[in-house]
Amino acid sequence: MRASYHFTMLPDTPTRWADHAVARLEHSGHRWGSARRAVVEVLAGQSCCLTAQQIADRLRAQGADVGLASVYRALELLSSLRLVHRLDVGDGTARYERTDPSGEHHHHLVCDRCGAVAAFEDDGLEHAIEALSGRLDFEMGGHDIVLRGTCRGCDAV
């Protein structure tokens, strides 16, 4: 018997994040090149993580002339400025998603069969992590939660 869980999906905040990213890049003295702009625009439209290849594929589909190496360079810079979070969901490929300026974040569900990745938020989990931090006398700087299993689509097959 499978357990049933209810998760609240996070709201999308693309405009706020894109404006924040532009301001951080300019404040840190980085040029606002076409590759960086294109990567920021793709990430701004996403509510969850993408691989560098997925970003490059979307840019190509939009007709942008941005190579995979440029996407990686842009992601490295955005990551170093803490505008993007690099995530490992256990499949050996790094994924990237925007970091919300408010500190809001989400966690991930990964299907072991099809590889689908979905975002979720759970207040109870956040409270448990805060309580754990206090019991361990450890100041948490951040955390990543990746829950693995089988999605409903694959479970029905």
What are the pLDDT digits (tens) for 77-114?
Answer: 999 999 998 988 777 889 999 887 777 788 888 898 98
Q: Which of 101, 121, 138 is the last residue of a domain?
A: 101
Question: Which residue has 């991930």 as its token pair?
Answer: 108
Q: CB atoms < 10 A from the CB of 27, how many? A: 9
In a domain, residue 140? The reply is yes
CATH no. for residue 72? 1.10.10.10
In a domain, residue 31? The reply is yes
Looking at residue 117, what is its pLDDT? 85
Both 42 and 93 in a single domain?
yes
Both 87 and 31 in a single domain?
yes
Looking at residue 19, what is its pLDDT? 85
Strand order in the sheet with 94-98: 50-51, 94-98, 84-88
Both 29 and 93 in a single domain?
yes
Q: Rg of the chain's alpha carbons, rounded to an integer?
A: 17
Cα–Cα dist 100/64, whole Å:
26
Q: Domain residues for 152?
A: 106-157
CATH no. for residue 125? 3.30.1490.190
Q: Which of 70, 101, 132 is the last residue of a domain?
A: 101
String of DSSP letters for 90-151: SSSSEEEEEPPTT----EEEEETTT--EEEEB-HHHHHHHHHHHHHTT--------EEEE--
In a domain, residue 4? The reply is no
Total structural domains in the chain?
Answer: 2
Both 79 and 151 in a single domain?
no
Both 84 and 111 in a single domain?
no
3-state secondary structure of 88: strand
Residue 34 has pLDDT above 80, yes or no: yes
3-state secondary structure of 62: coil
Cα–Cα dist 65/157, whole Å:
40
Determine whether 65 is exposed, middle or buried from the number of CB atoms within 10 Å of its CB (0-12, 13-18, 19+): exposed
Looking at residue 8, what is its pLDDT? 35
Looking at residue 66, what is its pLDDT? 92
Both 123 and 78 in a single domain?
no
